[in-house]
A and B are shown apart, each in its own frame.
Chain A
Amino acid sequence: MSLTDQLVQYLVTGVSVGAVYGLVGLGFAIIFNATGVINFAQGEFVMLGGMCAVAFTGLGMPLITAALLSVAVVTAIGLLVERLTIRTLPGASIMTLIIATIGASFVLKGGAKLLWGPEAVILPAFSGHQPLHIGAAGIAPQRVWVMGVVLVSVIGVQLFFKYTLAGKAMQACAINRSAAQLVGININRTVSVSFGLSAALAALGGIVLTPATMMRYSQGATFTLTGFLAAVVGGLGNGIGAVVGGIMLGVLEALAGGFIDILTSSLIHSGYSKAIALAVALLVLWLRPQGLLGRREREAG
């Protein structure tokens, strides 16, 4: 395989993994805009999406039914998390609310371990394993599914914000809570919708990713961390920025993993690929604190 083909291969892998990071980041952005809270249970929704889909197909349901039902179940769990944490703590500090979502993530992770055990589960690929060829690079069809579903979801979310009343209310809420409340927007309902929507997005990501990488009860935290990084690198509160940030992280990770052994001697090896992606992300943030697409922050002191 030539270097260009390798490059294509790594790029596609990177974009498809990064797309899921981006989807989680988008969920972070939606909840952050509505509440100012970083929802640390976000990654658990990805895990639950994948786990539910495996369970429902295991019951003999066709894939599409299982997927829809999984999204519905995870959305309901998202709403429940909001009801049991954010809603029960009016007037609590942001820090307290964040820790409450961490508590919720423990419950979800533990629940998944009880239901599905510690083993990784897998879903059959949506459309076989025959790789698609771009030059000599072979691309698993599931990767295409991942990218396609993420693209459609991101466009869907943008349309929702632009053209529906609930979406507009959420944007108003993000711009100015008090003003939004003054013009009669129900803040509580907006916050509920934001949790439901983020959970649904994360679940979709989990469902399409499971056939490509398998899913385990303990994997939620990884998605939370990388999704959070994606959201901040893109500019916290900026949905499209989060998706761009996620894809950037995924691509960096894949490229570092693929090329590092060629470029350097044994001093640094591919085990560091994630560390390199993180370091670059932090460097971006250091140079551009508002994130790739974020608004400019005010400086203090």
Chain B
Amino acid sequence: MSAAPQRIEKGIHWGNLIRVTGWLLLAAAVMSPLLLGEGYRLPGGIGKNYLLTIGIFTGIHAIIAVGLGLLMGYAGQVSLGHAAFYGLGAYTSAILTAKLGVPPVPAMLAGIVLTAVIALLLGTPTLRLHGHYLAMFTLGLGMIAQIVFNQARGLTGGFGGVRNIPYLGIGSWQLDTKPEFYIVVVLALGLTLLMAHNLVNSRTGRALRALHESELAAAICGVDVARGKLQIFVISAVLASVAGSLYAHFMRFVSPGPFGFVFSVDLLIMVVVGGAASVWGPVAGAALFNVLSETLGRIGEQIPWVADLDIVLFGAVLVAVIVFLPRGLVTLAGRRRGGVGEAASRPEIQAEA
């Protein structure tokens, strides 16, 4: 007689089960490079060191991509110059620590301040305007930064770059092994995600969601549209700068190459492929991007024609993901979140026309 209520109590909550399994799988994936034995080789001769390197790069890229995702998915703005902010962080850390002997943490903070000031100067006039102005100004900044990285030889070492950057650390405690650095990057990414999650669910986040629905309606309700956008833009620039500092201390060498327009586009790809309208999407995008480019590179070493074809394959995969998953990889993880995702993916073409 009491079978019916009992069944409800005993019934499995599939949603929760899937969620818990998902978290466990994610934790296992994050931990696996650390737990792998030193001499153990995965198929293709992939060892622990290699996995850690890919993990570190994915993490560094994901930190920037999460910030850029906030900017694109919530503030509805594109930056074509985030590689420049990444470079500003990297070069500030590199020059201050390697040339002037400043400890790594204050150097990283200096990079943050410098980047925030530049982002404020760029964002204040442009974010008050409709259209592609931020894209334009960040593109210009990116190109100018690339020229300065190459030309200001006295400061940046030009094409040769800055060498002998010390390990990241405080006092005598130094991150001089890969597993340690990997843990720090994972923690930094975790903090970034937590911050992004809080921001999205804060007053500013709600205001920006309203803004995405209708800028006019949000403004009427008293939302300071330009201020909200500016806040997110500065945060995303600062995240890129922090990632740049991490990069500098990991590679212990910086040169202009990784901070050009190509990387700005790579970042956009990570965000869009992963899904801009969610906090986790850009992380998935960064992971796919790094794994795919590493895999294609590896196969290219064995089979020469793949190396020639890599750009084509990359473009084709990108277009395919966009065509089949227009809202990004996060669509695969379930559609339970409506709200922002719905708003962000609504055809803006009508609004702009």
Which residues on A are within 8 Å of B, measured CB to CB? Answer: 35-36, 38, 40, 84-85, 88-89, 91-100, 102-111, 113-114, 176-178, 221, 225, 228-229, 232, 236, 269, 271-272, 274-275, 278-279, 281-282, 285-286, 289, 297-301
Contacts and interface: CB of A to CB of B under 8 A. Distances in A.
Given A99-B322, A301-B128, 8 more contacts: A36-B353, A38-B132, A93-B344, A96-B326, A107-B315, A110-B310, A113-B311, A300-B225
Nearest to A274: B147
Interface stretch (B87-95, B135-143, B166-174): B135-143
Given A110-B315, A298-B130, A89 B140 contact: no
B318 A286 contact: no
A285 B289 CA distance: 34
A128 B313 CA distance: 41
Contacts of B126: 289
Given A38-B132, A102-B318, A297-B129, A111 B312 contact: yes
B322 to A, nearest CB: 5
26 contacts: A36-B349, A38-B132, A91-B347, A92-B326, A93-B345, A93-B347, A95-B272, A96-B322, A96-B326, A97-B349, A100-B318, A103-B269, A103-B315, A103-B322, A106-B312, A110-B313, A110-B314, A114-B312, A225-B143, A229-B136, A286-B137, A289-B133, A297-B129, A297-B130, A297-B131, A300-B226
Contacts of B144: 275, 278-279
B323 A88 contact: yes
Given A96-B326, A236-B132, A286 B125 contact: yes
Which interface residue of A100, A272, A300 has the most chain B CB atoms within 10 A? A300
Interface residues of B, number: 59
Contacts of B318: 99-100, 102-103, 106
B299 interface: no
A96 B272 contact: yes
Which interface residue of A221, A229, A282, A299 has the most chain B CB atoms within 10 A? A282
Interface string B241-268: 0000000000000000000011001001
B345 to A, nearest CB: 6
A256 to B, nearest CB: 11
Contacts of A300: 128-130, 215, 219, 225-226
B303 to A, nearest CB: 14
B78 interface: yes
Nearest to A84: B319
A97 B326 CA distance: 9
B219 A103 contact: no
Contacts of B330: none
A246 to B, nearest CB: 15
Given A110-B315, A272-B151, A301 B349 contact: no
A289 B129 contact: yes
A232 B131 CA distance: 11
Contact of A301 (B78, B224, B273): B224
Query: Considering the complex of A and B, which 8 residue pairs feature the smallest CB-CB distances, nearest first?
Result: A106-B315, A110-B311, A110-B312, A103-B318, A107-B315, A301-B225, A301-B226, A103-B319
Contact of B128 (A40, A103, A299): A299
A279 B135 CA distance: 15
B130 A229 contact: no
B346 interface: yes
Contacts of B117: none
A300 B128 CA distance: 5
B18 interface: no
B269 A102 contact: yes
B129 A274 contact: no
Given A98-B78, A113-B311, A178-B353, A301 B227 contact: yes
A35 B352 CA distance: 10
B276 interface: yes
Interface string B333-353: 000000000001111111011
Contacts of A93: 344-349
B49 interface: no
B9 interface: no
A107 B319 contact: yes
A232 B319 contact: no
A34 to B, nearest CB: 10
B147 A225 contact: no
B150 interface: yes
B28 interface: no
B349 A35 contact: yes
B148 interface: yes
Contacts of B272: 95-96, 99
Contacts of B130: 297-300
Which interface residue of A97, A107, A108 has the most chain B CB atoms within 10 A? A107
Interface string B212-228: 00010001000011110
B311 A269 contact: no
A279 B137 CA distance: 10
Contact of A228 (B139, B141, B353): B139
A299 B75 CA distance: 16
B352 A94 contact: yes
Contacts of A297: 129-131
Contacts of A108: 315
